[in-house]
């Protein structure tokens, strides 16, 4: 019998599969799955993995990336963090740690392999799916090209989905190099978000 979303949330919260993997990183942090979804969500944000600040706060996008993402979506904090409206399902539910350069490590593939099929089956249909960053583009959209080309092809995914770059400060230069993103994609994104939340 298929598990329900609340049942899966309980199981996911208790997941410690990456304990040894995270203990071997510079931060030596324990797993802390950031579980953020509820039945009836209208928008799915399929993202990469929580950062250190989201790990500490226990809620996703509780950082400057999240502030930029909420500006892109043009929704307030209460709406964004209302799990019955916006479900956030990243490629990994825990902060993966940092690499030697201080960048976030890749999301552990075991997370997707263990959880995604069950979670997406239980979540069911949503009105709008937003795929954020290269890991999500490759997995969910089957993209074989880079983030810029994937996002440039945004119109092909309408009306139910849109690929987005990661809203990290690291992509500020990307946003300057690609003004079409703010000029053309963001107005459509905001309209679709408004419609999905109606």
- Which residue number, 61 or 72, has a Cβ lying nearer to ligand SF4? 61
Measured CA to CA, the distance from residue 159 to residue 157 in angstroms comes to 6
User: φ, ψ for residue 46 (rounded to 5)?
Assistant: -100, 105
Cβ 47 vs Cβ 27: under 8 Å: no
Q: What is the DSSP letter of 104?
A: B
Least distance to ligand SF4, CB of residue 57, Å = 16
- Which residue number, 75 or 136, has a Cβ lying nearer to ligand SF4? 136
Least distance to ligand SF4, CB of residue 150, Å = 24
Kindly state the tokens that stand for 84: 């019955």
Least distance to ligand SF4, CB of residue 31, Å = 4
Least distance to ligand SF4, CB of residue 50, Å = 9
* Residue 164: strand pairing partners: 132
Least distance to ligand SF4, CB of residue 77, Å = 25
Kindly state the tokens that stand for 179: 């003004």
Measured CA to CA, the distance from residue 88 to residue 35 in angstroms comes to 8
- Which residue number, 15 or 164, has a Cβ lying nearer to ligand SF4? 15
- Which residue number, 35 or 75, has a Cβ lying nearer to ligand SF4? 35
Q: How far, CA to CA in Å, does 81 sit from each of 30, 46, 140, 159, 175?
A: 24, 15, 23, 23, 25
* Residue 86: strand pairing partners: 43
Binding positions for ligand SF4, rule: CB under 6 A: 12, 15-18, 31, 33, 92-94, 108, 110-111, 114
- Which residue number, 17 or 52, has a Cβ lying nearer to ligand SF4? 17
């Amino acid at each position: 019998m298929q598990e329900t979303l609340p049942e899966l949330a309980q199981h996911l919260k208790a997941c410690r599969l990456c304990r040894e993997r995270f203990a071997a990183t510079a931060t030596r942090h324990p797993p802390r799955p950031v579980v953020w979804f509820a039945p009836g969500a209208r928008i799915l944000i399929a993202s990469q993995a929580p950062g250190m600040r989201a790990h500490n706060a226990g809620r996703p996008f509780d950082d400057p990336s999240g502030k930029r993402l909420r500006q892109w979506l043009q929704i307030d904090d209460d709406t964004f963090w209302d799990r019955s409206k916006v479900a956030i399902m990243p490629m990994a539910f825990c902060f993966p740690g940092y690499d030697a350069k201080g960048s976030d490590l890749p999301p552990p593939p075991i997370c997707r392999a263990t959880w995604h099929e069950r979670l997406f089956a239980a979540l069911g249909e949503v009105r709008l799916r937003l795929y954020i960053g290269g890991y999500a583009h490759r997995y969910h959209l089957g993209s074989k090209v880079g983030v810029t080309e994937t996002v440039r092809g945004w119109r092909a995914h309408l009306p139910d989905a849109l690929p987005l770059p990661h809203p990290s400060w690291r992509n500020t230069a990307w946003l300057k190099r690609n003004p079409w993103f703010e000029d053309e994609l963001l107005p459509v994104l905001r309209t679709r978000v408004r419609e999905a939340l109606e």
